[in-house]
Copies of this chain bind each other. A is one copy, B any other.
Amino acid sequence: MINVAVAGYGYWGPNLVRNIQDTGEACVVACCDASQDRLKQVSAKYPSVTTTTRYEDLLKNPAIDAIAIATPVATHYQFARKALENGKHVLLEKPATSSTAEAEKLVDLAEKHKLTFMVDHTFIYTGAVRKMKEVVEQGDLGELYYLDSVRINLGLFQRDVNVLWDLAPHDIAILEHLVKEKPVSVCATGACHVGNGHENVAYLTVYYDSGLIAHFHNNWLSPVKVRTMLVGGSKKTIHYDDMEVSEKIKIYDRGVDIVSSEGVHEARVSYRLGDMWAPRLDPTEALRLMAAEFADCIRTGRRSITDGISGLNVVRILEASEMSIKHRGKEIRL
């Protein structure tokens, strides 16, 4: 049994505790939070869990194998660094860190200490994304052409970050998971109208050398809630609609074929119209699978599918997009 401590018992912490307990391979033995009120909630629900307001107590406790960190992003780096330096495996909420440099240091530290360092990119563990991964891996889509993601709705404004740092990590993590090719640069645009001085509407393009292009649209002001992703290839296209109840993933055997091409200006294309297929998706709760993955990676020493490097890759794109957005769409190399 792996003993886990949870740092931060706010919005997401309770979900983490519940799902870690449910793995059967790991259990929560301690919880740390700055608020005594929240710690009381932990004690009431899980009498066996030790509580503390001092993070150092977790570090010093030799019975603790791993720390799951669900604190504000700005604190991730310090908490994770100390955990790794004290020999604890680390699970970080998304986004992993506030900067690429921080994420790189954590990756190195985990490597050096031979510890599991994983990021909770929960969507990667959903039935929908696992099915997308399977379809892409099998080559069903053919050559990848574009990934287009829209995640918009009336949003809880974050105090200290723009809408990309808040919403895009979900979708960039999916991009990172589906596409093995390394992105080369980003362009981002956006605007701020309400509130915190950070963009509440933003658009991000990610370029790849192969010609693949990925685009993300995030918006905190939209009265309409949209969560869609199109992944288009030379053969088929996936349409992922997370607002659908029972058919989140649709695979279209429809597209455009090059019929003849005697020269750039003479290309002829024809439509290919075919079936659409909505595969059954595994309904297992994503967070439960993520918690099981954390336990399994610690136990076996294998790399997680959402390891520190995937967290780093996501942060690298976010950091570059923030720079691009400040320079009105200037291309930033990754």
A197 to B269, CA, bound (A): 12
Given A154-B254, A187-B189, A245-B225, verify A269-B195 contact (CB < 8 Å): yes
Q: Is A291 on the interface with B (CB-CB < 8 A)?
A: no
A189 to B188, CA, bound (A): 10
Q: Are B277 and A275 in contact (CB under 8 A)?
A: yes
Given A267-B157, A328-B185, verify A223-B252 contact (CB < 8 Å): yes
- Our pick among B155, B239, B255, B280 for the contact of A274 (Cβ within 8 Å) is B280
Q: Are A145 and B245 in contact (CB under 8 A)?
A: no
A213 to B329, CA, bound (A): 13
Given A252-B223, A275-B278, A278-B275, verify A193-B265 contact (CB < 8 Å): no
Q: Is A258 on the interface with B (CB-CB < 8 A)?
A: yes
Q: Is A137 on the interface with B (CB-CB < 8 A)?
A: no
Q: Is A159 on the interface with B (CB-CB < 8 A)?
A: yes
Q: Is A148 on the interface with B (CB-CB < 8 A)?
A: yes
- Our pick among B154, B187, B192 for the contact of A329 (Cβ within 8 Å) is B187
A317 to B63, CA, bound (A): 63
Given A224-B239, A230-B224, verify A275-B265 contact (CB < 8 Å): no
Given A213-B191, A252-B224, A254-B223, verify A276-B277 contact (CB < 8 Å): yes
Q: How many copies of this kind of chain does the complex include?
A: 4
Task: Annotate A198-235 by CB proximity to B: 1 below 8 A, 0 otherwise.
Answer: 00010101010001110101011111110000101010
Q: Is A247 on the interface with B (CB-CB < 8 A)?
A: yes
Q: Are B255 and A221 in contact (CB under 8 A)?
A: yes
Q: Which of A257-303 contact B (CB under 8 A)?
A: 258, 261, 264-265, 267-269, 271, 273-280
Q: Is A146 on the interface with B (CB-CB < 8 A)?
A: yes
Given A213-B191, A256-B221, A330-B329, verify A145-B201 contact (CB < 8 Å): yes
List 6 A-B pairs, Cβ < 8 Å: A146-B219, A193-B234, A215-B217, A221-B237, A221-B256, A243-B245
